[in-house]
């Protein structure tokens, strides 16, 4: 689905939301749209992965109304981050570079659709690989709660510790749950020591992506 093309610095400074909101208000009055960093980030990832994307798909995936989705696409086009055609929006080269930079700041190494996973049977899932983001005391609860808050069914946080892919805080080995899934996740993401895998799951893959990203952003605060 996406892999980072190169290494980026560890500091996250999500200025893209400010860029999008600046100059959005038409005229001297009127409220700014209620957009979040998560929605802007998810919009760019969805457009890159599924483009051309129209406003209806964007509004349904992000939980925003058609007017805000239309305005977001207009602003992204004005910033030359996307190209809009009759069949929808596609990411421009400048948009791809900006998205790579934002994801690099977050430590995101790659994003992959997992389909159904044996860790969460019956639910479409999306995994996000975070490089070197494990910290002591991580238990996955905050990430799960953030995923649920944005409409996903939840998330699972995995960590690579001492060469084992485990579920904090008890550090249960994924191999004990499913050797096939352990091998699949290692093959897809290639995690190194102290990397994290955040797996979001929901009724569809787009919402699973939004849930996984919400969990990732909760770790950046």
pLDDT score for 18: 73
Query: How do the domains of the chain map onto residue ranges?
Result: 2-102, 107-219
Higher pLDDT, 129 or 32: 129
pTM score, two decimals? Answer: 0.87
With a cut of 80, say whether residue 143 has pLDDT above it: yes
CB 205 within 8 Å of CB 212: no
Higher pLDDT, 62 or 24: 62
Instruction: Quickly list H helices, the chain.
Output: 16-21, 37-50, 55-62, 66-78, 93-106, 141-149, 174-177, 179-189, 205-219
Q: In what order do the strands lie in the sheet with 2-3?
A: 2-3, 108-117, 120-130, 196-201, 154-161, 164-167, 172-173
Tell me the pLDDT tens digit for each residue of 160-180: 999 999 999 999 999 999 999
For residue 173, the SS3 value is: strand
Tell me the pLDDT tens digit for each residue of 8-58: 444 445 567 677 777 665 544 555 567 788 888 999 999 998 889 998 999
Q: Is 209 exposed, middle or buried (0-12, 13-18, 19+ CB in 10 A)?
A: buried
Q: What percent of the chain shows pLDDT beyond 90?
A: 62
Tell me the pLDDT tens digit for each residue of 4-13: 555 444 444 5
With a cut of 50, say whether residue 70 has pLDDT above it: yes
Q: Which architecture characterizes domain 2-102 according to CATH? A: Orthogonal Bundle (1.10)
Higher pLDDT, 123 or 18: 123
Q: Which CATH number fits domain 107-219: 3.40.50.1970, 3.30.1360.30, 3.40.50.720, 1.20.1250.20?
A: 3.30.1360.30
| Rounded distance between C-alpha atoms, residue 70 and residue 56, angstroms | 9
Greatest C-alpha distance within the chain = 60
| Rounded distance between C-alpha atoms, residue 108 and residue 104, angstroms | 6
With a cut of 90, say whether residue 211 has pLDDT above it: yes
């Amino acid at each position: 689905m996406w892999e980072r093309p190169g290494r980026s610095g560890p500091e996250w400074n999500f200025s893209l939301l400010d860029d999008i909101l600046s100059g959005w208000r038409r005229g001297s009055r009127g409220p700014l749209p209620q957009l979040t960093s998560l929605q802007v980030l998810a919009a760019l990832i969805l457009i890159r992965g599924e483009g051309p994307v129209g406003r209806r798909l964007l509004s349904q995936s992000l939980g925003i109304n058609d007017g805000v989705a239309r305005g977001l696409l207009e602003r992204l086009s004005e910033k030359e981050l996307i190209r809009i055609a009759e069949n929808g929006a596609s990411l421009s080269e400048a948009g791809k570079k900006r998205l790579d930079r934002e994801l690099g700041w977050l430590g995101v190494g790659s994003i992959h659709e997992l389909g159904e996973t044996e860790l969460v049977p019956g639910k479409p899932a999306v995994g996000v690989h975070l490089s070197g983001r494990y910290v002591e005391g991580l238990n996955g609860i905050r990430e799960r709660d953030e995923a649920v808050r944005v409409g996903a069914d939840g998330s699972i946080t995995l960590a690579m510790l001492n060469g084992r892919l485990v579920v904090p805080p008890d550090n249960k080995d994924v191999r004990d749950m499913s050797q096939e899934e352990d091998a699949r996740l290692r093959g897809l993401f290639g995690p190194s020591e102290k990397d994290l895998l955040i797996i979001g799951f929901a009724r569809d893959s787009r919402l699973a992506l939004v849930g996984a990203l919400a969990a990732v952003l909760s770790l950046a605060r």
